[in-house]
Structure 1
Amino acid sequence: MVANSSYGYISPEDYLQGEQNSPIKHEYRNGQIYAMAGASNTHVIISLNLAAMLRNKLRGSGCQAYISDTKAQIESINVYYYPDVVVSCDQRDKTFDNFLRYPCLIIEVLSPTTEAFDRGDKFADYRQIQSLEEYVLVSQTRKRVECFRRNFEGQWVLYTYADGDDLCLASIDFRCAIADVYEDVVFEFSQVPDSR
């Protein structure tokens, strides 16, 4: 999300209508819209790797993976975001044309300009989605994935994965090697050893 917002209140209905014809994507928070910046090739490769693996895993299961053009609506706080990858297993989401209300899994690939927001306010907003079981943050500067998983008490527990580990997404019973998440990614600098 880019820090510059438009001026004045915009209704959710006007936002959704405008977004259908807009050449650029915008996220929506409480009457304000925020233009989204373009993604790096590394960001796109990671997102595509995850979406492709999830699509294959979920085929025929009743769950569906979506990529960055599908919005997640947080109705209770009047917010629409574009996650990099989002999964819904709730049949009610099939009635919506361009957003989801009941995702169980949201994945964001971290960018230098959005990392603080993705970890802070955006995660706080996503926690308002009652159906959400896991929120996953994927680094694009090193092989590191952080999975925040909601436990039975409603608390969010952090699970970290690094090179050599298998990523586990309990919400959809999915496992893959971290190397598969980063397939075809070339890091611009030598990786710093991961210190967990």
Structure 2
Amino acid sequence: MQRFPERPDMRVHVPANGLYTYPDVSVVCSEGQHLEETYLDTLRNPLVLPEVVSARTGKYDRADQFLIYKRIASLQHYVVVESHRPLVGVYTRDTNSSWLFQEYKGADAVPLPALRLELPLTGIHRKITFSA
């Protein structure tokens, strides 16, 4: 896994429609591919894109943002982390390039086969207290 300098302005290019987005996190397991005309601030090959959603941004992140991201050929998982409840939704590209959706809550672990790991929900929502 390649680590990039922590940059709040790392963006992702979506070649299919020419858009640029700023995901909360970008994960690349091979060498990062960047647009040549940029200064390593535009990633072209993310493998996993997690987004932390709020009540205000949730509808956009779950629907519209996913429609943009799923056009990135390298993307294998789009992870939607709820900020106001212990819930994570994962869109996973299958072998037919279709997308499968699964929700994880409670004590579940979130499998990310493209990274060959599982993330425990307790780790994702660590130090967060949810209201009843």
TM-score normalised by the shorter chain: which range applies? 0.7 to 0.9
SS at match of 1:117: helix
SS at match of 2:60: helix
* Contact in 2 for aligned 1:136/1:147 (Cα 8 Å): yes
* Contact in 2 for aligned 1:74/1:129 (Cα 8 Å): yes
Identity percentage of aligned residues: 27
Q: Which residue of 2 aligns with 1:86?
A: 26
* Contact in 1 for aligned 2:2/2:32 (Cα 8 Å): no
Where do 5+ consecutive residues of structure 2 fail to align? none
Paired with 2:2 and 2:106, the residues of 1 have a C-alpha distance of: 28
TM-score (ref. length: structure 1):
0.60
- State which structure, 1 or 2, has the greater radius of gyration over its C-alpha atoms: 1
> How far off its partner does 1:163 sit?
1.2
Deviations 1:63-109 (A, max 9, x none): 44777531111122111111111101232526751121110100001
Paired with 1:68 and 1:157, the residues of 2 have a C-alpha distance of: 30
Find 1:136's aligned residue among 71, 79, 93. 79
> How far off its partner does 1:124 sit?
0.6
> How far off its partner does 1:166 sit?
1.1
For the aligned residue pairs, the C-alpha RMSD in angstroms reads: 1.9
Paired with 1:67 and 1:143, the residues of 2 have a C-alpha distance of: 27
SS at match of 1:175: strand
Paired amino acid for 1:118? D
Q: Which residue of 1 aligns with 2:123?
A: 180
Q: Which residue of 2 aligns with 1:154?
A: 97
Find 1:114's aligned residue among 34, 57, 74. 57
Whose helix proportion is higher, 1 or 2?
Answer: 1
Q: Which residue of 1 aligns with 2:69?
A: 126
Q: How many residues align?
A: 128
Paired amino acid for 2:30? D
Paired with 1:126 and 1:67, the residues of 2 have a C-alpha distance of: 20
Q: Which residue of 2 aligns with 1:76?
A: 16
Where do 5+ consecutive residues of structure 1 fail to align? 1-61, 191-196
Q: Which runs of 4+ in 1 moved over 4 A?
A: 65-68
